[in-house]
Amino acid sequence: MNAMAMGHELELTAFALALLWLMVGGIIAWLMRLPLVLGYLVAGIVAQTLLRPTPSLLLMGNLGIMLMLFFLGMGFDWRLLSSPHRWGVMLANIALNFLVPLLLLWLMGCPFAIAFFAAMAVYPTSSAVTLATLTQLRRLAYPETETIVWLAVSEDLTMLLLLALASVWAGSGQGVDLPIAGFGFVVAMLIASVALTKPLERLFRLLPSELDNLVTFAAIVAISALARTLQVSEALGAFLAGMLFSGTKDRYELERRLHLLRELGTALFFFVFGLQMPLSLTKGLLWGLGLVAIGIVGKVLTAWSAGRMDNLRPSARRRLLFSLWARGELSALALLVGDKVLPTVWKEALSWFIAISIVSGILALAFADRRRT
């Protein structure tokens, strides 16, 4: 009994320290006019000297990524991809930022599984980091922001498929064959996101508003748990849960009510991810820097083609070239899903890649708006 009480006390102490670190990191980032997610990530990295990832912190980190992916799914809008020209850029983005890194690493002698998860991390721009930075820079109304948003939506769609494949591959050891149950779950959720819009709206009209948050949170956790049971990532389940709510009329009201959960989820995820990042000055750092270079080149080419397709003015095109560099939540998810597949050196490489990409992406966004002299 004493041992159990001591364990609870240590868990509570660790959680309290984590919140304090989060608060300090967030305040410092705010004072420096940097996105808060950078403060949360750095707080987690610095806290490695005092804290270890306890079960409660790991649970909070999992809840954090589930909430983040839920809101990504909730913001998914097929209409942004209605233009055939955008589908062309979307395919070019996949080729430049997923297939090219995959083939390069494979041709350099990396096992295909390692190359696959590394390419998954390189592919998606972080909408959390990018949009948070644009908000602080007061640039959300700039014309290139719509281009950034539809590119992010297209990457969400691609990552939906890649995560379904990767999570089963990493969890089952059955190669790239997606089990029927997991595939059926993904298809059923996609159909439900269209077919259950009206029933969900009626449900929320019947329920008292005080229960909206509880019902939504219960749905997120239940669908994520079911996805995990079917050997599909719980984060993917949360994304599909978000798509389930994305077509409802009460979507924006629901987003407003759940804003606190979204902020808390983002903070916890980036902090716990930073707490677990194996950063050391080894060969992993060199691989990480190489991935950063490949990622920047790929995103610059993607931005150039997207800017031309959207007929942006030269100044907006120039800013867009520097606006897609940051990686974050989805890249971190690729690392977490591939935990059992990736050797230590590649875990370090992807950790360095994500950390450097966040910093370089934020600096690039700030630099992009400087006027030419």
Question: In this predicted structure, what is the pLDDT of residue 60?
Answer: 77
Give the whole-angstrom CA distance, residue 164 versus residue 161: 5
Q: CB within 8 A of 280, min separation 6: which ones?
A: 348
Question: In this predicted structure, what is the pLDDT of residue 372?
Answer: 46
Residue with structure tokens 């403060």? 39
Question: In this predicted structure, what is the pLDDT of residue 191?
Answer: 82
Residue 64, exposed/middle/buried by CB under 10 A (0-12, 13-18, 19+)? buried
Give the whole-angstrom CA distance, residue 159 versus residue 336: 14
Question: In this predicted structure, what is the pLDDT of residue 175?
Answer: 42
Give the whole-angstrom CA distance, residue 339 versus residue 155: 22
Question: In this predicted structure, what is the pLDDT of residue 8?
Answer: 65
**Low-confidence residues of the chain, pLDDT below 70?**
1-8, 76-82, 167-182, 231-232, 250, 279, 370-373
Q: CB within 8 A of 156, min separation 6: which ones?
A: 72, 73, 76, 124, 127, 239, 330
pTM: 0.76
Residue type at 264 in one-letter notation? L
Question: In this predicted structure, what is the pLDDT of residue 337?
Answer: 82
Domain extents for the chain? 61-368
Question: In this predicted structure, what is the pLDDT of residue 170?
Answer: 62
Q: CB within 8 A of 99, min separation 6: which ones?
A: 119
Using an 8 Å Cβ cutoff, are 68 and 329 in contact? yes
Task: Say which DSSP state 141 is in.
Answer: T
Q: What share of the chain is helix, strand, coil (3-state, %, to 5)?
A: 80, 0, 20
Question: In this predicted structure, what is the pLDDT of residue 99?
Answer: 95
Fold of 61-368: Na+/H+ antiporter like fold (1.20.1530)
3-state SS class at 373: coil
Question: In this predicted structure, what is the pLDDT of residue 341?
Answer: 85
3-state SS class at 29: helix
Question: In this predicted structure, what is the pLDDT of residue 118?
Answer: 93
Give the whole-angstrom CA distance, residue 295 versus residue 334: 15
